[in-house]
Structure 1
Amino acid sequence: MTESELITTLALQHVPYIGDIIAKKLIGHCGSPAEVFKEKRSKLLKINGVGSRNIADLWNPDHFRAAEKEMEFILKNRIGHSYFEEEEYPERLKHCVDGPILIFKKGHTDIRNKKVISVVGTRQVTAYGLSVCEKLIEELSVLDPVIVSGFAYGVDIIAHRAAVKNGLQTIGCLAHGLNQVYPKEHKKYRKQIEEKGGFITDFWSTAHPDKENFIKRNRIIAGLSEATIVIESAEKGGSLITADLANSYNREVFAVPGRTGDRYSRGCNDLIRSQKAHLLSSVADLIYILGWELEQKEVPAVQKKLFAELDPTEKIIYDFLLQNGKELLDIIALKCALPVHKVAASLLEMELKGVIRPLPGKLYEII
């Protein structure tokens, strides 16, 4: 991308009411950001989804003045950038309808031909969450994945640090420009992350870490990755938004279960209960669901959990699966002569006990 092309792309990014979805429609119709500014208003309004509000301020020269100023920052600080139609733009992000038309990057951010996993969770991480996160990334390290997170307090920074400790590339997705560090306490980690990985954002240097920016940032965390793992979460939180986004992109979502009474396990347990996430009890679960079976031999052996005692209904389901192999929930209920709602509840309990695991297509099998 030439400097001239970058300036016109920045100018288009700067126009209010033209988000990434509308920008892509405009570019797709006109051929390039530069041609968008040259096109007649009447023709732009014929594009599906483009309204008069979107382009009302399009030809304001202030957008180019702002773009030129941001360009100075990019050149002065050697900020990398990728346009959504370029080869080096993250492939998975290209398939997200709301993926940014332009991203800015610092450090080693090339993730082509790499396994990429996002790890998110609460900022108020517990000792349990910390232990699970560190162990998970340590066991994943033999597969050399890229670990993506949001560089925030709690699970995010633990994931980044664990990645660095295990020699893995790690990417921090920021809710502000690359001219600052937030939270400030994490400034001490920036250099070591850039040495092995880097940072990505679609925010300009003029952007601040406002609340709404973190929600917008989450789409990049989910979009970059093959799968998103939620370590701990309350009933509401940014990590659940990231999980929803990952589901909307047809990516796999995993959640680490916890005790039903624990505040920061409720979000994960709800994801599992509503079948919005796979239960994650070990790295083996993730490898199996993602279809990485051929590499399973490289993964450190994970001890199977001791099965908890099964109640009568669970024993019926267990015996059926033992005899018939993987099966659909509805078929299990039919063949076992049990109500569907009772089978669903029992299957969840059996997942939590480490007896069975869910498969794509709402199938279940014994571990």
Structure 2
Amino acid sequence: MGENQQLYEVALTQLHGIGPQMTRQLVSYCGSPHAVFHAPPGKLQKIPGIGPAAYKNITQGAKQALLQAEELLKKAEEHEVQLLFYTSPKYPDRLKQIADAPTLLYFRGNGNLNQRRIISIVGTRQVSNYGQAMTEKIVADLAPYNVLIVSGLAYGVDIVSHRAALQAGLPTIGVMASGPDIVYPAVHRKYAERMLTQGGLLSESTFGTKPDAPRFPARNRIIAGMSDCTIIVEATLKSGTLITADLAHGYDKEVMAVPGNVTSPVSEGPNHLIKNHKAAIYTSVQDLVELLNWDLEDETQARKLRNQVFSPEEYTQDEIKVLTLLVQTQDEHMDNISWKTQIPVSLLASVLLTLEFKGMVKAMPGKRFGLIR
């Protein structure tokens, strides 16, 4: 059953013209990827956003998509690659929350993409001695906090981050602009191989994909989206690193920047971010600890425990998912509840109604729901 389910998950990503947001819409309304492929024509046509072109792509492209999915699953097995559909428990939860998150990820390694603390470190390819020393110090200082280090496996700050994480015994994930079977640049293969047993390699691109220029900004959104904070070490004003900072900022993620020598071109980017209040200044690990409230970890842990007091004897698994989410967010739009809990909209309506009858949830204007306090 699991393999059959994954076949339809992967096949859904192979349909022409069906992007991530439409994929989520289809799964939400139909209940599962399998149900999308077996939905009656009338049901598909009634789903919001599914116009004539999308309907044609789904109905006429289904057979080819399933064949392509079979081939992908074979290659994944050969290369020891995990195919993570966005509903997979192993898919990065932080990344799932952004609107343009990939529907399918290719992952090699043993790292936990949902580790409690995840920090991205990025910067220039032409890293200075100062930039290298600061990157190594940042990672070393993070070691006691059991952090997952994310970067892009590129020259400069990226590879220094990965190398320092390996040395510090921290797991590290390299997000690639190429397919999972192509390590770029090739000279970093020895580090990439070590990362497979101490983190891993992640990509949204299929097997054989070369790292063409347009794929790097897309890769950067994954780096920004899957972490709690992105730290910029060195970058010129025209560097792609600043794209990552802008993306993180747009996702309401924390951004920090290491100040640098005002006469150095690679310090212009971080200094600009700090000056324009687009990044908090990083001078020591304590800055990061305070920014992310790690010093209040005990209180956070207590809150998490309070979130789990809903008894399975009183509530179904889906009801507990909804209640746990609403404790964290206070109130949510129905579509967001469906997305974040992975409960199909068709089922969610009855779950919410039951919780209303139990006096736990109240309906609010604009299809929002909140806990009754």
| TM-score between the two structures when normalised by the length of structure 1 | 0.75
Q: What are the equivalent positions in structure 2 for 1:221-236 lying under 5 Å apart?
A: 221-236=223-238
How far 1:274 moved relative to its partner?
A: 2.1
The alignment partner of 2:98 has SS state of coil
Residues 181 and 52 from structure 1, CA distance in 2 versus in 1: closer, same or farther, beyond 3 angstroms? same
Question: Match for residue 282 of structure 2?
Answer: 280
Verify the 8 A CA contact 1:109 1:199 in the aligned structure 2.
no
How far 1:134 moved relative to its partner?
A: 0.8
Q: What are the equivalent positions in structure 2 for 1:335-346 lying under 5 Å apart?
A: none
Q: What are the equivalent positions in structure 2 for 1:248-287 lying under 5 Å apart?
A: 248-287=250-289
Question: Match for residue 13 of structure 2?
Answer: 13
How far 1:198 moved relative to its partner?
A: 0.9
Within 1, Cα distance between the matches of 2:50 and 2:251?
23
Residue 7 of structure 2 aligns with an amino acid whose one-letter code is I
Question: Match for residue 318 of structure 1?
Answer: none
Residue 132 of structure 1 aligns with an amino acid whose one-letter code is M
Verify the 8 A CA contact 1:109 1:200 in the aligned structure 2.
no
The alignment partner of 1:29 has SS state of helix
How far 1:41 moved relative to its partner?
A: 5.4
Residue 91 of structure 1 aligns with an amino acid whose one-letter code is D
The alignment partner of 1:195 has SS state of coil
How far 1:210 moved relative to its partner?
A: 1.4
Cα RMSD (Å): 2.1
Within 1, Cα distance between the matches of 2:113 and 2:87?
16
Q: Which moved more, 1:248-257 or 1:43-52?
A: 43-52
Q: What are the equivalent positions in structure 2 for 1:161-176 lying under 5 Å apart?
A: 161-176=163-178
Question: Match for residue 110 of structure 1?
Answer: 112
Verify the 8 A CA contact 1:120 1:228 in the aligned structure 2.
yes
Q: What are the equivalent positions in structure 2 for 1:64-213 lying under 5 Å apart?
A: 64-213=66-215
How far 1:102 moved relative to its partner?
A: 2.2
Within 1, Cα distance between the matches of 2:156 and 2:115?
29
Within 2, Cα distance between the matches of 1:220 and 1:246?
10
Aligned residues: 296
Q: What are the equivalent positions in structure 2 for 1:309-348 lying under 5 Å apart?
A: none
Verify the 8 A CA contact 1:234 1:265 in the aligned structure 2.
yes
Q: Which moved more, 1:117-126 or 1:268-277?
A: 268-277
Within 2, Cα distance between the matches of 1:204 and 1:133?
31
Question: Match for residue 300 of structure 1?
Answer: none
State the Cα deviation string for residues 193-223 of structure 1 (Å, max 9, x = none). Answer: 1121111122211322111222211121112
| TM-score between the two structures when normalised by the length of structure 2 | 0.74
Residue 21 of structure 2 aligns with an amino acid whose one-letter code is I
Residues 213 and 16 from structure 1, CA distance in 2 versus in 1: closer, same or farther, beyond 3 angstroms? farther
Residues 267 and 65 from structure 1, CA distance in 2 versus in 1: closer, same or farther, beyond 3 angstroms? same
Residues 113 and 78 from structure 1, CA distance in 2 versus in 1: closer, same or farther, beyond 3 angstroms? closer
Residue 250 of structure 2 aligns with an amino acid whose one-letter code is S
Unaligned runs of 5+ in 1: 297-367
State the percentage of identical aligned residues. Answer: 40
The alignment partner of 1:57 has SS state of helix
How far 1:157 moved relative to its partner?
A: 0.6
How far 1:47 moved relative to its partner?
A: 3.5
The structure whose Rg is larger is: 1
Unaligned runs of 5+ in 2: 299-373
Residues 159 and 46 from structure 1, CA distance in 2 versus in 1: closer, same or farther, beyond 3 angstroms? same
